[in-house]
Structure 1
Amino acid sequence: MKAGGIVNYGTDLDDLDFAAVARSAGIFGVRVDRAGQLDDALREALALDGPAVVDARTASRELSLPPNLTYDQVKGFSLFATRTVLSGQGDELLELAKTNLHELPLLR
């Protein structure tokens, strides 16, 4: 959505525990809060003969960046940022920056 210039609207989820929902339906479910837990959770889920839910918790504002950015993606993100500020949601843009700036090689 961000690369397309679309401001977030109606896409936030409450802190829903998808693993608990799966378990309540009789399906294997495990919630992963730390990266170190993921391998074991996936191994356990894939070893089952049937459906499984692995609820891997991530930073809600973590950006997934492709190896190479295109002009259209940069343009779209710029449009998203402008629209976000103009719609009064500048605090969301600040949170996005706080979450992702630590990944830049210049800041390490």
Structure 2
Amino acid sequence: MEITELIRHDIFDLFENGCIEQIYFGSDKKYFYPYYGRLKEIDFLKRIYPLENMVTTDERFNNVDEEMWQHTINNDTWNFGWVFNDSRFDLMDGPDSTLLEFLCEVFHPISITQG
């Protein structure tokens, strides 16, 4: 069985938008879990990808590590969930093994949010 594009979209949508628990007598609760857990996004991705060796799409930087730092930490110009559609990370269109490794890292004890 393969992980279809529809399933991938559903997984990414859950991380990007969270889910709502309908409460019949009271206010609904929205649950949100950032895929990188308690880690910083860049530190989470470094556990899976060699960001320092990946090619940047921005000529101002030497690698994805520098590009990502600029756009997620320094200026915060990339929307949350950008990684799901960035072809360099192969999460949307890559092999199932890439997505499965990513998901295993999401739920690794080092990443899991406390509290």
Q: Counting helix residues as a fraction of each chain, which structure ranks higher?
A: 1
TM > 0.5: no
With the length of structure 2 as denominator, give the TM-score of the two structures: 0.25
Q: Which has the higher contact order (CA 8 A, sep 6+)?
A: 1
Whichever structure has more strand as a proportion of its residues is: 1
TM (norm. structure 1) is 0.26
